[in-house]
Amino acid sequence: MTDQIKIFCPATIANISCGFDVLGVALDSVGDEMVVRKVSEKGIRITKLIGQDLPMETEKNVAGVAGLALLAASDHDGGFEIEIYKKIKAGSGIGSSAASSTGAVWAMNELLDRPFSKVDLVKFAMEGERLASGVAHADNVAPALFGGFTLVRSYDPLDVIPIPSPSELYATVIHPQIEVKTSDSRSILRTKITLAQGIKQWGNVGGLVAGLFTSDYDLIGRSLVDHIVEPIRSILIPGFHDVKSDAIKAGALGCGISGSGPSIFAFGKGVDTAQKVAQSMKEVYKNIGIAYDVHVSKVNIEGIRRI
Ligand code: HSE
């Protein structure tokens, strides 16, 4: 058995409009790379971190913390070294911390001959999310580990439901280069909602899940509505409403905030539509004068993979 593996860790869109903290999807065309080695020395060491300015101390690094959680639950006598090659910008809203924490625990599990289930790995990776955002949410780490769309039906006990992705569904994501910290964008949310808001929101969650299961693109589009979080968080994202209305005019099924922002995602049927949506989104930020990155991606149904 090999003592080292190299992996691709996908970026992810969390929340997906109506599914705050419960829905997520893995992307195919953007993600980090990591090399993880099993070593005899105990503990976890981050030996390389290229591409982003992030802490390398094990306890301050999301991959380190997630890895320690796995190590504490395993009977492995030694430890692991981790090299992280970041392609996903930290704080972009497409699951940068989740890519690192899931990559660490997925690779460690492979090198130990898979003692843990995917749900176990979600729990370990959630410790990385706790470090990054103050809350151990699972809507980025679950799709990174399972691939495709996932629903966190319950946090206690943890219950992750994989959801199929229609074959022609593409995501377009634009990352305006402004900083929005997940901890800040969580702190502005209200902790109480009205029954009327709840009724609209869970109708859309059910509709979105049904649309994904039946490849009903119109139903997916009708359900990509968020009555609770988006109205508050969109205040932090300049140009959000123009990006959204122009994306829909360009053919997007729906559009919303990716994770805690500032990235904005749209879903479209087919790659041509997704490219047109990307063009419409770029125009908005060109006019406002904010630099951006754009990603057009099919859904990654496999999740983390060896490369
Ligand atoms: N569900 C989390 C949030 C995702 O919106 O705070 C963070 O990427």
* Res. 199: pLDDT tops 60: yes
pLDDT at residue number 182: 83
| Ligand 1 pocket residue status of 260, Cβ below 6 Å | yes
Active site residue 182: yes
Nearest CA to ligand 1 atom 1: 21
Q: How many CA atoms lie within 13 A of 220 on its CB side?
A: 26
pLDDT at residue number 27: 98
Per annotation, catalytic residue among 12, 102, 150, 182:
182
* Res. 2: pLDDT tops 90: no
Angle separating helix axes 96-111 and 62-73, nearest 10 degrees: 30
C-beta of residue 171 within 8 angstroms of C-beta of residue 186 = no
Candidate from 16, 122, 140 with most ligand 1 atoms within 8 A of CB, to mutate: 140
Nearest CA to ligand 1 atom 6: 260
pLDDT at residue number 183: 83
| Ligand 1 pocket residue status of 139, Cβ below 6 Å | yes
Q: For residue range 48-63, list pLDDT tens digits in order.
A: 999 999 999 999 999 9
Q: For residue range 64-122, list pLDDT tens digits in order.
A: 999 999 999 999 999 999 999 999 999 999 999 999 999 999 999 999 999 999 999 99
Q: Which atom of ligand 1 is nearest to the CA of 14?
A: 4
Active site residue 58: no
Q: What is the mean pLDDT of residues 169-198?
A: 93
Omega of the bond prior to 238 within 30 degrees of 0, cis? no
Structural domains for the chain = 4-163+302-306 (3.30.230.10), 169-298 (3.30.70.890)
pLDDT band with cut points at 50, 70 and 90 for residue 181: confident
3-class secondary-structure state, position 32: strand
Q: Record the pTM.
A: 0.96
Candidate from 182, 184, 190, 229 with most ligand 1 atoms within 8 A of CB, to mutate: 182
Q: Strand 254-257's sheet: what is its strand order?
A: 254-257, 264-269, 169-176, 292-298
